[in-house]
A and B are shown apart, each in its own frame.
Chain A
């Protein structure tokens, strides 16, 4: 592998700028003549906008303009769209309510913008916003699934009777009914998957700069996928044709899904920049992030699992209500359907599965993909179900899982996915060994003698990553292909630039992507640069989410490298008067195998660009590009086991140990992979113990700052013990499965299984706060 090649824990190239304060985030950028936007947002969950009086604000110092929803609609800026079409079981298309970038008539969640002040400074914009008077007529609101589906409930959108987005089904209902008819045991479970706020540490920000002479826009924005942003802004929101819109996503301070989407603030900044003729900057504060960044999760589910007399699973029946919030965000429709229900087989042989998912509108912030996106909800359901079943059937939870593990691959589940490879026994073995599962009973007894309740919880997760084979997702309703593109430029002096459509917002691409080049060419990573995040530089790209950047993005780089290497070998062979087939690349040199003849990469590159002596008919230059479309999803899987201790007098949970055994296929940089797992685990544990985006019955958010919403902090979490088992992914040449979401997908169930084991009661909702745990312990 070499010291900087594949498999080496190389320290990150990008770190120097971050640790010295030289990172360049959107809010750090200042443009000449820049103005500042401040949005006026609805304080009501549901209201009619009767009028907006900006006359006083317009007279205030430094105010450039006050613009409203009617104007943006009149200027024909398009409504926000959801780009994945889902069809209900009755054959009807999903019901998409109109979502203008600022509300001209009706607001449907607290925080929805109705107007924007543009001023000479942030403070002046904020001052003037205070002077804008909006006349609202309050309407009754629905704040949760139960209220939304009640007959006679207030209605959000004329397009969606009964507040229903869709009623979608997957699987064979008759086969499932048959399985339950012959079952020896049936296990039932009701659970809620709590709503979360993504909370990347960098608040969203956008700077729009319109050049009237060129009729050209530049948008600096906090995006995980700048090319997708340009595509959507051009094709659907009528901002500008693609060649007149450059989108730059520089350093981005975390995303976790929330920065995939194109938000109203970006659209308004672009539109306003043209109207006022100056650059417009908007940077959200944390409360705006809570109110407007797409939330995650929020499911209410009833599930039943049928077992035969030998505790083998016969079937699974699931009914889930998914809360979409007030509008359908960009990829929201796919999350509780194709990213959720297709993973309901978990790591298990389940002959029959049927799931029904009903999507509903509520007067809350829109919900979309948040780290894991549908797969944490599936994993939580399946793994809570396995634990519940083990308790009901009185078998060891590890044994019940082992009895039902899939062991033959490829394995076709009844819910679309074809698992390509895996070894679920191996990861469970590794996790059980790491936590000394056999010694748990003795530890539990000792804790009991000290007045503490000790519990252990398992979670054997699987996810579908490497998103995604374009043809497959197209057949399921996706509006885009999910391939990735890359370009390899060898400069005339032999340095290398890799241009990628993936976007790094913490994942370390500037290091790991160089490692592939170092591995193949034997050059130091200091000789390689990664270029990303700018639609004017990179040919195209679908961005970073769904644990796709290594499995899809890096494979695209590999494909471009192969093309470049093939040409370079021809040039080397020509220069060395050898056969192309005899050329091998080692330590930055092209060598004639079995001889001492060689030519260094810079000389090959120089030859390519001077073009004085190239093989006949060869084009000058050494630059190649590739588009790579995966043939299947990848299937990272693993086993997490958590041992906790609950203090019955306070309900407080303390971690004793948390072990993770993951199978991600090939690891490029184990240090970075482990960092990804740590972060994912923290988010999964945060969901289980601390985090909850709460609305009152009127749709008022009551957790809209870090004072109210409990973010995991250093003293809430343990150190993690990680290990890896490996089955290489057969679907891509590098054997990579992806690692970005696993922790968030697998951790929650392990924690709740452990707490419910400790307290001896199975019904416990997330987040398992001390108050909730104490009440559960002491409930009659």
Chain B
């Protein structure tokens, strides 16, 4: 057993876990943050994507202990109160989700993609960058549309800040 101290969605937490505990298990089983999903166990599908210190990471591939001292954002921590993150709003407005299972990971990846490209995104880049997230429902058509839409919204939001 080890004690892992980290910040999750802005709150400091300290959790005693078995050493083999994965970050996704800490989030889901110990903190009840069940928005982060497990879809494949082999780091292929990206349903478990969260932000560790601002970077998108597949939380099924990180031991909880490795995340000690870091700041984690999950899908539950993305909106500011009732105000959706522009990526969340874009997924809703563009029908970028159906069953919703891959959606949290998609959104967390997509936020990182837009940030890394500074809003300079085209369809081919988005499709290439989404390679680590699998969706079985949407054929990606509306996910790509959502990310491009959000990239525009995030640029506007940034300019306004």
A residues contacting B by CB (< 8 A) are 11-12, 14-25, 27-28, 30, 123, 199-203, 251-254, 256, 285-287, 505-508, 671-672, 674-675, 678-683, 705-707, 711-715, 717, 719-720, 743
Q: Can you list 15 contacts pairing A with B, beta carbon distance less than 8 Å? A: A18-B100, A20-B78, A22-B76, A24-B34, A200-B101, A201-B47, A202-B99, A251-B100, A254-B99, A254-B137, A256-B136, A286-B41, A506-B137, A683-B136, A711-B45
Contact B140 A717 (CB under 8 A): yes
Name the A residues within 8 Å of B139 (CB-CB). 678-683, 712, 717, 720, 743
Residue of A nearest to B33 (CB): A21
Q: Which residues of B contact A200 (CB under 8 A)?
A: 99, 101, 136
Q: Which residues of chain B from 126 to 161 have a CB within 8 Å of any chain A CB?
A: 126-128, 130-131, 133-144
Residues of A within 8 A of B138 (CB): 675, 678-679, 682
Q: A138 to chain B: closest CB distance in Å?
A: 28
Counting contact residues on chain B (CB < 8 A from A), the size range is 35 or more
Q: Which residues of B contact A720 (CB under 8 A)?
A: 139, 141
* Leading 4 A-B pairs by shortest Cβ distance: A21-B35, A253-B101, A18-B100, A682-B139
Q: Give A713 to B38 CA distance when docked, in angstroms.
A: 18
Which of B33, B131, B137 has the largest number of chain A CB atoms within 10 A? B137
Given known A22-B35, A201-B136, A202-B37, contact A506–B100 (CB-CB < 8 A): yes
User: Which among B39, B78, B79, B140 is the interface contact of A201 at CB below 8 angstroms?
Assistant: B39
Please, how many angstroms separate the alpha-carbon atoms of A259 and B45 in the complex? 20
Interface pair B44/A505, CB less than 8 Å apart? no
Contact check, B144 vs A505: say whether CB atoms are below 8 A apart. Answer: no
CA distance A199 to B47 in the complex (A): 13
Residues on B lying within 8 angstroms of A by beta carbon are: 18, 20, 28, 32-42, 44-45, 47, 74-76, 78-79, 84, 88, 91-93, 95, 97-104, 107, 123-124, 126-128, 130-131, 133-144
Contact A199 B98 (CB under 8 A): no
Most chain A C-beta atoms within 10 Å of own C-beta, residue among B75, B97, B100: B100
**Are B40 and A706 in contact, CB atoms less than 8 angstroms apart?**
yes
What separation, in Å, do the CA atoms of A338 and B95 have in the docked complex?
Answer: 34
A675 contacts B95, CB within 8 Å?
yes
A251 to B34, CA, bound (A): 13
CB-defined contacts of A17 to chain B, threshold 8 Å:
100
Residue among B39, B93, B128 making CB contact with A11, cutoff 8 Å: B93
Bound-state Cα–Cα, A12 to B96, Å = 10
* B136, A199: Cβ atoms closer than 8 Å: yes
A467→B138 CA distance, assembly (Å): 23
| Interchain nearest-CB distance for A624 vs B (Å) | 31
Closest B residue, CB atoms, query A678: B139
A-chain residues with CB within 8 Å of residue B124 when the two chains form the complex: 715
A679 — which chain B residues lie within 8 A by C-beta? 98, 136-139
Whether B33 and A201, one on each chain, are in contact in the complex, defined by CB atoms closer than 8 angstroms, is no
Given contacts A254-B99, A682-B139, A713-B130, 4 further A-B contacts (CB under 8 A): A18-B97, A201-B136, A678-B138, A679-B139
Q: CB distance B99 to A252 under 8 Å?
A: yes
Which of A15, A22, A706 has the largest number of chain B CB atoms within 10 A? Answer: A15
